[in-house]
A and B are shown apart, each in its own frame.
Chain A
């Protein structure tokens, strides 16, 4: 089974079913499938071959959905890039992955141009509503032309389920983003297991405001395509009233969210005036819900089943808590999902019995193939399993289990911050802070925040004779990092604490 074959099956068997609603435009399964095939043909005509990487740098929109399926049909590897990404990092992602095609839209063209100038492998640049006909020496192919029926003829490539379907970049503690390599088998396995325990159906209408570049946002699309449901794609959390309007108008039945999104929507005074009675499933991931959050969600959507879940990009999903367990153990993230085994190990890799604290290990077809071009980082996470030749995933997260094996998050082994449900590498932020003139030393930590989960906080020591302000520092970071990585707080200090060996110590900073 290949990841795009669900779409193709529905396009054949139920062609006029609505697959996607975006800005009130409706696309049937046949619409998406046909356009994706035309785009795949265009990609092939530009020399894209099986295994080539294709960067999709777009907001949540129909073009992004078509691009993902087109890349898969062409046998290529799609690489979703968060549209908040700035030029320097986009260049890094394009060069690290060796991406040969970049698909984006006109509102991002300036950043695309800056990045494409230094991207050495690009042979095709396809833009929706481009603002100029050439970008950084490349002739821009418009999305409309690339998906038209006049596009070249399509050749089905000999893809198998061991081939890579996607590379999703994630923050690493070294500060250098790592590309998580996922095969067709990895992704169909995860999508099948999750949609099975959630009980998704073809008559579901799934709302997705999470970015398609964020793995749980992406999986809403993949799971909708598996069961033949309708995906309602929304671009931003910025205007919560628009989210509620869309949910009521489209009679949404499934709502996947992260804690920050729940905070923004549940705080709306007009929440009760919207008819959300069709909602039957609510899911949370990326960060744990507080008990107060759980109470508020259940009060707002009393008829819906609430699933608390935990996962990481390296295997997509690890656990879920069946809704009937929520009153018994509200703070648990549950147990392993179908067709997956999870357990805790001690520091020597020995399995621990229920009631222990240890690192969570994951075994299943959903576990990644490794990090792109990073054998050392891969070896640190994928270690030999019990069957010769098999590799299992060491999550890097510490959990405890209760007597029945339900898992409770304890801590991360590294210093990655989770803000708005997104991973933030302190090192990546510090690297940018050190570029600011006058910064002598920088230390970044996460501090508790009622809406963000954790907020990014920077401590700075300035060189003598230099001055800057909190806002100037934040502004500089916003220009160079994804917005969620920019510090919310900046504190100027005369010096930073040190370890005995003279390294900056973050212990004691708050």
Chain B
């Protein structure tokens, strides 16, 4: 399996973050608490995860426990693939 965290980190750096903020993005940092991704950004993130790993994310799975940090995304994507 590819490096899930690295791929998502790259996606977030390319799409949402600039300069210092990107360098400091920690694996367990909440995207929401730190205003890295907002409500429409999460919809884009879900689309990215679905297309990159060829998975289908249900409405019920769109919860912070699955999506709100690099750590939680890695856990979640692993469980789906």
B9 to chain A, nearest CB (A): 14
Interface residue? A160 (CB, 8 A): no
A475 and B41 contacting across the interface, CB-CB below 8 Å: no
Of A235, A236, A237, A268, most buried by chain B (CB within 10 Å of CB) is A236
Report how far A475 CA is from B17 CA in the complex, Å. 6
A475 and B16 contacting across the interface, CB-CB below 8 Å: yes
Report how far A186 CA is from B38 CA in the complex, Å. 32
Considering the complex, which residues of chain A in the window 132-155 have a beta carbon less than 8 Å from any beta carbon of chain B?
A: none
Residues 34-55 of chain B: 1 if any A CB is under 8 Å from the residue's CB, otherwise 0? 1101111110000000000000
Q: Which residues of B contact A240 (CB under 8 A)?
A: 59, 62
B35 to chain A, nearest CB (A): 6
Considering the complex, which residues of chain B in the window 37-81 have a beta carbon less than 8 Å from any beta carbon of chain A?
A: 37-42, 58-60, 62-64, 67
The residue of chain A having its C-beta at the shortest distance from the C-beta of B36 within the complex is: A478
A241 and B21 contacting across the interface, CB-CB below 8 Å: no
A210 to chain B, nearest CB (A): 12
Report how far A84 CA is from B59 CA in the complex, Å. 25
Interface residue? A197 (CB, 8 A): no
A239 and B17 contacting across the interface, CB-CB below 8 Å: no
Interface residue? B15 (CB, 8 A): yes
Residues 262-292 of chain A: 1 if any B CB is under 8 Å from the residue's CB, otherwise 0? 0010001110000000000000000000000
B19 and A479 contacting across the interface, CB-CB below 8 Å: yes
Interface residue? A83 (CB, 8 A): yes
B32 and A238 contacting across the interface, CB-CB below 8 Å: yes
Interface residue? B28 (CB, 8 A): no
Size class of A's contact patch? 20 to 34
B15 and A471 contacting across the interface, CB-CB below 8 Å: yes
Q: Which residues of B contact A95 (CB under 8 A)?
A: none
B11 to chain A, nearest CB (A): 10
Interface residue? B1 (CB, 8 A): no
Of B14, B19, B35, B63, most buried by chain A (CB within 10 Å of CB) is B35
A238 and B42 contacting across the interface, CB-CB below 8 Å: yes
A476 and B38 contacting across the interface, CB-CB below 8 Å: no
Q: Which residues of B contact A475 (CB under 8 A)?
A: 14-18
A209 to chain B, nearest CB (A): 10
Q: Which residues of A contact B33 (CB under 8 A)?
A: 59, 107
Residues of B participating in the A interface, judged by any CB pair closer than 8 Å: 14-19, 21, 30, 32-35, 37-42, 58-60, 62-64, 67
Residues of A participating in the B interface, judged by any CB pair closer than 8 Å: 59, 83-84, 107-108, 110, 235-242, 264, 268-270, 420, 451-452, 471, 474-476, 478-479, 483-484
Would you give 30 A-B contacts (Cβ < 8 Å), ordered by A?
Answer: A59-B33, A84-B35, A84-B38, A107-B30, A107-B33, A107-B34, A107-B35, A235-B32, A236-B39, A238-B37, A238-B42, A239-B62, A239-B63, A239-B64, A241-B62, A242-B63, A242-B64, A268-B59, A269-B58, A269-B59, A270-B59, A471-B15, A474-B15, A475-B14, A475-B18, A476-B18, A479-B17, A479-B19, A483-B41, A484-B38
